[in-house]
Chain A
Amino acid sequence: MEFLSLISPLFLCLVVGGTLVGIIFGAIPGMTATMAVAVCLPMTYSLGLENGLALLLGLYVGGISGGLVPAILLGIPGTPSSITTTFDGYPMAKAGEGEKALRIGIIASFCGGVVSLIALFFFAPALANFAIEFSYVEKFLIILFALTVMAALSSDMLMGIFSGFLGIFVALIGVYDISDGGNGELRLIPPGTEYWLEGGFSLLPVLIGLFGLAAILEEAETGVKQGQTMDDVKIGGGGGFSLGIFKGQFVNIFRSSGIGTFTGILPGVGGSAASILAYSNAKTFSKHPERFGKGEPSGLIASESGNNGLTGGALVPLLSLGIPGDSTTALLIGAFTLQGIQVGPLFIGNNPETWNAMIFAMLLANVAMLVMMYVAIRYFAMVVTIPKHILFPVILMMCVIGAYTINYGIMFDVWTLLIFGLFGWVAVKLGLEIAPFIIGFILGPSAEVYFVKSLESFGDLTIFFTKSWIALVLWVLIIGSLAASVYIARNKRATDQLA
């Protein structure tokens, strides 16, 4: 318990304050936990390691959790990992159950965060050892699995898979990065655009464009109907919510939190894949999969416990291997670097007090998030009471800020926002699925590295089947998820024909 000597009033204030700021960042579309950590990182230099980490971990937990507010109330994910929260949260809000959906999301987020924290604390070395044993083959198959389960989420499997591969294709634009073992050559770049597209499209402007600008363009297309925020999105008086909603959800919470934690552990497979996998599994195992996407609390619970489950998991490879589990934990490396500390396999053993202080900070951040959001939910929800003619221009401006500052001032990122905003508007009309596109875009570069390196190392396509028992299990899961999608689609068609 020597770490308790590190817990000062300042430490506690930084965790709580960081969580509050994180929630606000997460709640504003276009601003994310990653950005919150990036913005506050320089402040940690003067705080010392433990206090600095307290602030950043609060921002991390708050930022991931805050994303559920706009996802539920506006249908715009505040953070990439809130994508699936929009699927059921927004329909609930439109049905006048906004507050109920928010409270469900907050409690699910807390559960996910605590489960992942327990996993992080007790199983970090074992889980890290398991993940480190994955070769490029298994990592590639994990990504393939993530893409195939997306088919279960799509209303049209063929278009869903096509959208996923299109996302991969767009992600491959630019240089085959030397730091990833590539040859540094450019590809898929139209002549004359090498200067802008050398590094490809940045993730955040793409996300903000697809989920922020495209949503506002859709509203503009239909004339920005007045009064929709007050009349159509009914927050209600908290009626309809009781802890009884969580009855029978234990397996869903535990499975989704576990998926989030496990996904977070796998370097490069973290981020929004956690909530998508959790949501997809909840849908697959649900007795009523047809209710998903229409305001089903189970979907909301899966999404939020999954994405908050990521927070603990993503720290495992960071603290045990020095490999970040997602973009936000990648920024945490900066905090260690500022203090001159190398994160790697020796970190936990050599710094037990810091390790324990981090666990305590994460726990406190989750509790602070639960209390603040639960108590002040109506204040956070007030964002939807702002008239659309005031809210939308401000959101558009914040989208520009998010896109421009994510790479510390690149105007091309702002144009990327516009390009993908228009693409998102057109894509929906063409029947393309945005969520698989995004997943393909996020995982595409990693999929390429793992695929090419596997073949470079082994020179045989059969390696994807014969590498290990893990590879075989993953193939079973891939085929199973595709079979489940076909089965669900056929059932749906049969039901539609009967109707």
Chain B
Amino acid sequence: MDALTQVTIDFETSHLVFPRLISVILALMGAAILLTKRQRIAGAGGYWRETLSRMDKARFFGTLALTLLYFSLMVPVGDIWPNTGRGFLICSVPYVLATGLLFMHDRTIRNVVPLAIVALLAPALVWWLFTDLFFLTLP
């Protein structure tokens, strides 16, 4: 009985012990989920089709596309003026404006003007706070 519970851990491979244990637990629990929820899993295709049909595709995928563009451009733009955080500032202004316009339903002057002011002021204030006051690195 003692031999069954005894464990020797080789230091060289000790980094794999816990991940393997967790993997086995996840596999077992995954199998249990597949078994107990097989009907729901079988109907997953229909669920996702319905989700996609009900989705506001323009706003959802638009947000993703704008965010991807924002993240991708920040560093290259910032590299033009290294260690100034201008990459963040220059990219954040159009990002906030574009995302705001995307989320806005009633694009009237009365709604767009406050958004435009925030899109200019918010990134500028944050940029000033973090670069000039807190001396934190921004892209």
Contacts and interface: CB of A to CB of B under 8 A. Distances in A.
Contacts of B68: 418
Contacts of A165: 22, 25-26, 29
Interface string B108-139: 00010011001100110010001000111111
B103 A408 contact: no
Interface in A369-411: 387-390, 392-394, 396-398, 400-401, 404-405, 408-409, 411
Contacts of B106: 226
Given A397-B92, A409-B138, A172 B103 contact: no
A460 B5 contact: yes
A389 B7 CA distance: 58
B51 A169 contact: no
A389 B51 CA distance: 23
B126 A408 contact: no
B9 A452 contact: yes
Contacts of B48: 429
Nearest to B97: A393
A336 interface: no
Interface string A160-176: 01100110110010011
A459 interface: yes
Contacts of A341: none
A166 to B, nearest CB: 6
Interface of A is mostly: helix
A392 B9 contact: no
Contacts of B138: 401, 404-405, 409
B26 A187 contact: no
Most B CB contacts (10 A, CB to CB) among A392, A400, A448 go to A400
A224 interface: yes
A183 B7 CA distance: 18
A392 B32 CA distance: 39
B134 to A, nearest CB: 5
Contacts of B9: 452, 455-456, 459
A186 to B, nearest CB: 8
Given A411-B139, A448-B18, A451-B18, A393 B5 contact: no
Interface residues of A, number: 61
A393 B12 contact: no
B59 to A, nearest CB: 4
B119 to A, nearest CB: 7
Given A222-B56, A451-B18, A462-B5, A183 B12 contact: yes
Nearest to A444: B22
Interface in B70-112: 70-71, 74-75, 88, 92, 95-97, 99-101, 103-106, 111
Given A159-B33, A182-B14, A393 B8 contact: no
B29 A158 contact: yes
A39 B14 contact: no
Contacts of A409: 136-139
A456 B115 contact: no
Interface residues of B, number: 69
B22 A216 contact: no
A422 B67 CA distance: 12
Contacts of A175: 15
A246 to B, nearest CB: 38
Contact of A389 (B2, B71, B111, B122): B111
Contacts of A496: none
A415 interface: yes
A223 interface: yes
A397 B7 contact: no
A138 B137 CA distance: 41
Contacts of B55: 221-222
B16 A168 contact: no
Given A158-B32, A462-B5, A176 B56 contact: no
A169 B5 contact: no
A217 interface: yes
Contact of A168 (B22, B40, B100): B22
Contact of A414 (B32, B62, B71, B96): B71
A445 to B, nearest CB: 9
Contacts of B21: 451
B39 interface: no
Given A187-B15, A188-B19, A405 B130 contact: yes
Contacts of A415: 71
Nearest to A188: B19
A162 B33 contact: yes
5 contacts: A165-B29, A389-B105, A390-B100, A396-B99, A451-B21
Going nearest first, the 7 A-B pairs with the smallest beta carbon separation are A176-B15, A409-B137, A223-B56, A389-B103, A393-B99, A448-B18, A389-B104
Interface of B: 2, 5-9, 11-12, 14-19, 21-23, 25-26, 29-30, 32-33, 36-37, 40, 47-48, 51, 55-56, 59-60, 62-64, 67-68, 70-71, 74-75, 88, 92, 95-97, 99-101, 103-106, 111, 114-115, 118-119, 122-123, 126, 130, 134-139
Given A162-B33, A397-B126, A451-B17, 12 more contacts: A39-B134, A183-B15, A389-B104, A392-B99, A396-B96, A396-B99, A401-B138, A404-B139, A405-B137, A409-B138, A429-B51, A459-B9
